[in-house]
Structures are given as structure tokens and as C-alpha cells.
Amino acid sequence: MDQIRPQGDGAPFPEDGVPPPDLADLLKRAGRADEKAFAHLYDATAARVHGLALRVVRDPAQAEEVTQEAYLEIWRTASRFDPARGSALGWLLTITHRTAVDRVRSADASTRRDTSYHQQNQPVEHDTTAEAAQASLEAHRVRSAMGTLTEVQREAVGLAYFGGYTHTEVAKMLDLPVGTAKTRIRDGLIRLRDALGVGS
Amino acid sequence: MTEIHALSGAYAIDAVDDIERAAFERHLAECAECRAEVASLRDTAALLAGTTTAEPPAALRDRVLDGITTVRPLPPEVPTEVSTEAPAAQPVRRHRVRLLVAAAAAVVLVGAGAVAVTQPWKDETAPLAATEQVLEAPDAQSTTLEFPGGASATVTHSDDLDQAVLQTVDMPPPPEGKVYQVWLDQPGKGMVSAAVMPVKEDQVLLLEGDAATATGAGITVEPEGGSTAPTSDPIALFDFGRSA
């Protein structure tokens, strides 16, 4: 079984027999203002980008704005993508995540606080708002890998990544001593990385 | 493992505040190990994101593809960012950049930067001889930093000329009723006003004050007209690299 790597195989459904587009190549062409390449890039990644935006900000209208803003930023900065520093999909989703996190931490901070009690009392790994939980082989393996984390690691990673909370906020939510949530997040991500064989 | 190293995971998935992000990025510039770790953890997070996909509405595709037609992609990063025209240009020493982004200002910069329209690279009106002298001085030293939205600011100082110049590219406008004010950090005096920036994306501005004694420069967001001392946290700090 091949190791799962986001490098270049960003198509959500790689098992359908169609060769997945080379995202790094599409990005490179987009950096030269190739709108057609960018449209292909969008088609190959929009479900993931929008899924992440929706998961973090939760409000569908705002998620659309975040998705649009993220793609605009991807278009503007495509030439800055460096394959030596990670996969193309990882780069796209890093921009998306940052855009989503900036959104939830600014204008809607107060609104969002109202729902945080509800949110923090749900198992983090169970998505309650997503439009679709992908039942692909890859998603299954990621979920299995999540199962290798300690409960605290899993919760800390989930609250930080999908909740958009800082490690300081996560520490408070999980009743951890200040400064230890960042270690849990790092340990959890490293364990996930090794379980999934990323970057090897 | 140093204390700062432990922040790699939180940094990789944006679980840091602005101050921590700036601190960790300073560390990243010097730590190849952390750069590799952050890259691998970001790729891991990307797989995590793959567990939740959601097809966006078809109309969003049109909005995105329409939107990009009015936005110019940034050029690739090249090693030399200043004085590219000067023949046999002096090597530009880049100092460690300290970048602190106040949360409110960062939102403004990100928001405005994301919709920045194409700007002609050169539209500086009436470049002043004084600024050119500083930029081309044999001892000129530059510090460039980039804002989250793609804007960049460069401070070049020449101790021989006692002067410093600020250059900005794609700088978004300040919030309504506010201005960007530039300061020189003078030993014993603290931040001394060096200029109030005109509202202009790309500009070259000569800073007032003795740049040869200053240890750095900063930019803050101030009420219109400027302040006599900074009233907000700096959105950018430039370290002139003078060891204490």
C-alpha cells in the first residue's frame, strides 16, 4: 500500500481511475497568470478548501467568503510556492486555514463565543456541521491515525485546527496547565505525521 | 529542544497569537530543522482537512474566476529586493527582521491586501535626489519585511549620510481616520517621529531625524495628523542590527 502523501495527488477521489492533476504544476502556471490552469486548480481542490473553511468558520455564507478570499490569495502568491517546503495541497490549505482563522478571530469573535460552549462539549473528531464526511480510503486512514493519539492530543489538535483556537485557549478549554497545550498539539501532529508516513 | 521549538506544531496550524507568530518566524529564519518540521506538520494537517470536504456552490466558482482577472499575481521572490537598477549595486545586507503585527492592523492589511488591484510597479512621482542618495550610498543597509496581505516595507539607512528612507509596495490604506506614522528608535529617547506616511501604496519617503544614532525604526497606526509618541503597538519594527 502506498503511503498517503498530499504531494500532487490532491484530487479528492483518486480511486476513480482518472490521473490526478499535478497541483504543483498548475500552481506554477497560475503564477504566470494562466487563468485556465487556475480554473483546473480550483476544480481539483475546491471541495477540500471549502470543506476546511466551512469546518472552521461554520457559517456557510462566511465560509464562502473565506474560500473566495483564500483562492484570491493563492492566485496572487502562486509564484511564491516552493515545492521544497511542502506539498502544493498543503500550501493551499495552509492559506485557507490562515484565512479562516483570521476570520473567526476578528469580526465574529463575539458571535462565535456564544457557540463555543456547545462546541467544546462535543467530541472533536465527530464533525457535526460539515456538508459531507468523505468516506474515501484516505479519510479512513486519517481517522485511523487519529485513533493512535491520546485523547488529550486528539482534542488539542482538533480544537486548534478545526476550532481555530490558539494553544493558550486550548489549554484553558482542556484544563491543561498554561504552556502544555502547544506540546500536546506538536506531539499529536508528529504522531499523526508518522502514522501517515507524510514527507518520508 | 528549546522552548521556542515546542511552538512548531501550534505555529503550523495557526494556533498562535500574533506575537508568538512573529517570534517563531524569527526563529524559523535561523532553524532549518524547524522549517522542515513545520512543512511536514502542515502537510499532515492538510490530510486532516481531507476528512471533511464540501462542494462549494457553483456560483462561487464564477466569483473566484471572475475575481482573479483583476488581480496581478506577485512576482517570484528574488534574492535582491532593493536597488535592483543600480549598476554594480552594493550588496544589501539583510538584518533580522522583527515583525509584530497588532491584531487589528493585521485584519486591515490582510483584508485590503486580498483585493489589491494591479499596481504599476513604478509610479513614484518626483523621486527626490535625497532618497536616491541614501538608497545608493555605499554603506546603505536595508531591512525588508512583508505584511500578511502581500504588502512590503523596506527601511534603508546610511550612517554616512545620517539618513534613512522608507519604501513601501502595495501598502493598503490605513483604517478610516488613521494614518501610518514612522518612528526612529533613538537610544535614551525611545520612538521619535520620523514621518507621517502619505496614503499611497508605493512610495519612497525620506525619514526625519538622525538615522546614524537610531537602533531601529517602527510603523504604527495613529490618529489623523500623527502623534507625538506612539499610541498603539507597532505593526512593523525594523532592527538596524546594531549590537548593544
* Axis crossing angle, helix A23-30 with helix A60-77, rounded to the nearest 10: 70
Strand B152-158, strand B141-146: pairing? antiparallel
CB of A29 less than 8 A from some CB of B: no
Same fold for the pair A1-107 and A128-200: no
Does pTM top 0.90 for this prediction? Answer: no
Give the rounded distance of the alpha carbon of A108 from its chain centre: 20
CB of A71 less than 8 A from some CB of B: yes
| pLDDT at residue A110 in the model | 55
Q: What are phi and psi of B104, to 5 degrees?
A: -65, -45
> pLDDT tens digits for A42-59?
999 999 999 999 999 999
Residues 178 through 217 of chain B touching chain A, CB cutoff 8 Å = none
| pLDDT at residue B96 in the model | 38
CB pairs under 8 A between A and B: 234
Gap between the Cα atoms of B20 and A4, Å rounded: 31
CA angle B135, B141, B145 (to 5 degrees): 95
CATH topology of domain A1-107: Rna Polymerase Sigma Factor; Chain: A (1.10.1740)
Task: Name the helix (H) or strand (E) containing A74.
Answer: helix A60-77
> Is the complex ipTM higher than 0.90?
no
| pLDDT at residue A107 in the model | 57
Q: What is the dihedral of CA B31, B36, B37, B40, to 10 degrees?
A: 160
Q: Which is higher by pLDDT, A102 or B80?
A: A102
Which residue has 541614501 as its cell numbers? Answer: B134
CA angle A87, A88, A89 (to 5 degrees): 90
Question: Nearest residue on chain A to B54, judged by CA atoms?
Answer: A51
| pLDDT at residue B21 in the model | 93
Q: Is the pLDDT of residue A10 over 50?
A: no
User: pLDDT band at residue B83, thresholds of 50, 70 and 90?
Assistant: very low
CB of B15 less than 8 A from some CB of A: yes
Q: Choose which CATH entry (1.10.1740.10, 1.10.10.10, 1.10.3720.10, 3.20.20.140) describes domain A128-200.
A: 1.10.10.10
Q: Is the pLDDT of residue A41 over 90?
A: yes
Domain definitions of chain B by residue range: 4-49, 103-239
| pLDDT at residue B224 in the model | 81
Per the structure block, which three cell numbers stand in for A200?
Answer: 518520508
Per the structure block, which three cell numbers stand in for B195?
Answer: 514621518
Domain definitions of chain A by residue range: 1-107, 128-200
Judge residue B5's burial from the number of C-beta atoms within 10 Å of its C-beta, 0-12 exposed, 13-18 middle, 19 or more buried: middle
Gap between the Cα atoms of A198 and A193, Å rounded: 5
Per the structure block, which three cell numbers stand in for A161?
Answer: 485546527
Taking CA atoms, A114 is separated from A84, A117, A120, A138, B143, in Å, by 41, 7, 11, 34, 43
Q: What are phi and psi of B222, to 5 degrees?
A: -125, 160
CA angle B214, B215, B217 (to 5 degrees): 80
